[in-house]
Copies of this chain bind each other. A is one copy, B any other.
Amino acid sequence: MRPRVYLAGPDVFLPDPARRAAALKAACAEAGLEGVSPLDALADEPADWAALPEWRRLHLRNEAHIRGCDALIANLTPFRSPSADAGTVYELGFMRALGRPVFGFTTSDAPFTRRTLAMLGTAARREPDGSWTDGDGLLVESFGLTDNLMIDGGIAAAGGTLVVGSVPAAARWTDMAVFRQCVGHAARVLAAGQELARK
């Protein structure tokens, strides 16, 4: 059976999310993985969820999808902020707590600190010790990472990969090359895991 990989990301907000999900799944299939999209119906959705408001149903469905997958790939392309989409980050932490492999990719190669300073603009302040703070005096993380250290750390601790691409802004939500690279890493890690399990 092909390993099932949950496809976390703000891709669900794209104008044609079903088309994007189909493209991502096709790339997964080519690498021997089964991509699971947040848009997918849940095979055994409890009947009583029908009474819940849509946002609660969507949340529960996503959590159930993640629990039903062997790994997670997160689209960590900065989303309306210096960081990745909040829902995606929640799901990354969720899967990491389950102890399964997590992977990430971003189509922007600007480091987290530089993105944060760009967003802060003139509100950024250089402190005497060389660190940066924002307009409220809160520290700007400066570890040279791709995003908040919990994101980079979670992927590293899970033995995953964080693929950083450099894609022109106009293509940052539609690019497939960086995703394919991440899927390749995931396929290799998951195949090695299956190999071990057979021994």
Contacts and interface: CB of A to CB of B under 8 A. Distances in A.
A14 interface: yes
A151 B98 CA distance: 18
Contact of A80 (B60, B91, B94, B134): B134
Given A63-B157, A80-B81, A151 B86 contact: yes
Contact of A96 (B94, B139, B140): B94
Interface string A113-136: 000100110000000000001101
A97 B96 CA distance: 9
A19 to B, nearest CB: 13
A89 interface: yes
Contact of A81 (B56, B83, B153): B83
A90 B89 contact: yes
Which residue among A81, A89, A156 has the maximum number of chain B CB atoms within 10 Å of its CB? Answer: A89
A138 B79 CA distance: 10
A70 to B, nearest CB: 15
B150 A87 contact: yes
A58 to B, nearest CB: 6
A92 interface: yes
A93 B83 contact: no
A86 B56 contact: no
Interface in A53-70: 53-56, 58-60, 62-63, 66
Contacts of A84: 86
A98 B99 CA distance: 10
Interface stretch (A26-34, A141-149, A188-196): A141-149
20 contacts: A13-B139, A15-B133, A15-B137, A53-B143, A55-B143, A55-B152, A56-B157, A59-B150, A59-B153, A63-B96, A80-B119, A81-B83, A86-B89, A89-B93, A90-B92, A91-B150, A93-B93, A93-B94, A93-B97, A136-B173
